[in-house]
Amino acid sequence: MKARKNTICAAMVASLLSLLAACGGGQGDHPNNGGQVAPGGVNLQIVSFGDSLSDVGTFAPIASAVGGGRFTTNPGQVWVQDVAQYYGNTVSAAYTIDFTHKLTAQSGLGYAEGGATVATPANISDFIVGLIGNVSMPVNQQVANYLQAHGSFNANQLVLIWAGANDVLRAGSLPGAAAPVQTAATTLAQLIGQIVQSGATHVVVANLPNIGITPKGIASADGGATLAQLSQLFNGTLDAALQANGLTGKVIRIDTYAWLNQIFANYQANGFTVSNTGTACDPNKTPDDTALLCSPITYVASNADQTYMFADNLHLTTRMHTLLAQFAEQQIANSGLGH
């Protein structure tokens, strides 16, 4: 298996130059669908900030060499892309990795990046670091880079924000883990305030899902209890900070914690045959057992992207992203925007 991974890595690097031209950003992410009414009833330009759960292709120029590109069951989309289509738009990566192992700015508005924390350097997978370098861009830098490039937000945009999972995952054990998690949540609220103050009128804020019931969570020594508690702590702190900063009525909240618990409790009714007890990406076939490098040839079954909840031990499958997008669209409609 190790020899196979080395061969795959070599193939990735050898293919990088030819892939850059095909896989770089550059779609512009403009809200233009030829004048047709979008499925959501309103045309909006999507801007997204966050981590791997919303990454639309930062590492695609390299990962595409083995059929990967996003942290899901590739070639499936992540929820941000599904939401963009619902509002008559597309979204591509704002930055992509280049052959010098550096991030290069593109014309896309998908700033979310795998490995990102809210405001501190993240420690992403050793495999990814070894191949491309530790280039993860935290959310505060994502927002700063957007404002530097574009100046402000506008009323024709839908800004999607989902971050904090990596802060929880790297926080360690309680009680020491509480302080950095709370700091991350309050910092995220401040960044949301900056986005609103910079002209954004449609801001969607997703809280953290219950990381404790992911395959990674249930495999941990305490069965996910600490990760569940830290997820709740982050969410409670974020809620309090948004309220304290006068932002509660200025954002659209997406409760992914309750959503994931509901899907988990009723997984068969939601079309899944496997909940959190397995992953769609076969760990014996998928390089480094990461959804970023997962493709149909590494699925445990041909339809695993639709029948499993999780791609790897943390990331969602294509169907899960589809359901999350639908849930988000419902909450956005409930706020009075579109349908």
b/e 133-159 (16+ beta carbons within 10 angstroms → b)? eebbbbbbbbbebbeeeeeebeeebbb
Average pLDDT, integer, range 308-314? 98
Mean of pLDDT over the chain: 89
* pLDDT tens, residue by residue, 85-99: 999 999 999 999 877
- The verdict on residue 220 lying in a domain is yes
Q: Is the pLDDT of residue 12 over 50?
A: no
Q: Which pair of tokens denotes residue 205? A: 């804020």
pLDDT at 11: 43
- The verdict on residue 339 lying in a domain is no
Average pLDDT, integer, range 77-84? 98
**What is the 3-state composition of the chain as percent helix, strand, coil, each rounded to the nearest 5?**
45, 10, 45
- The verdict on residue 260 lying in a domain is yes
Rounded to two decimals, the pTM is 0.89
* pLDDT tens, residue by residue, 257-291: 999 999 999 999 999 999 999 999 999 999 999 99
For 86-149, the DSSP string reads: HTT----BSEEE-TTS-EEE-S--B---TT--SSS-----HHHHHHH-S----HHHHHHHHHHH
- The verdict on residue 224 lying in a domain is yes
User: Which pLDDT band holds residue 133 (cuts at 50, 70, 90)?
Assistant: low
Distance CA 179, CA 264 (A): 29
Could you tell me the residue range of the domain that residue 287 belongs to?
2-32+39-334
Q: Which pair of tokens denotes residue 278? A: 């397995």
Q: Which pair of tokens denotes residue 166? A: 């990596």
Average pLDDT, integer, range 251-262? 97
Q: Is the pLDDT of residue 110 over 70?
A: yes
In the chain, the number of structural domains is 1
Name the least confident of 5-9, 236-240, 241-245: 5-9
- The verdict on residue 18 lying in a domain is yes
* pLDDT tens, residue by residue, 180-218: 999 999 999 999 999 999 999 999 999 999 999 999 999
pLDDT at 134: 59
Quick one: what percent of the chain has pLDDT higher than 70? 86
Contact 234, 186 (CB under 8 A): no
Q: Is the pLDDT of residue 103 over 90?
A: no
Q: Is the pLDDT of residue 4 over 50?
A: no
* pLDDT tens, residue by residue, 22-45: 333 333 576 555 567 899 999 999
Distance CA 319, CA 267 (A): 12
- The verdict on residue 152 lying in a domain is yes
Residue 277 is part of a domain; what is its CATH number?
A: 3.40.50.1110
Contact 47, 146 (CB under 8 A): yes
Distance CA 142, CA 188 (A): 12
Q: Is the pLDDT of residue 16 over 50?
A: no
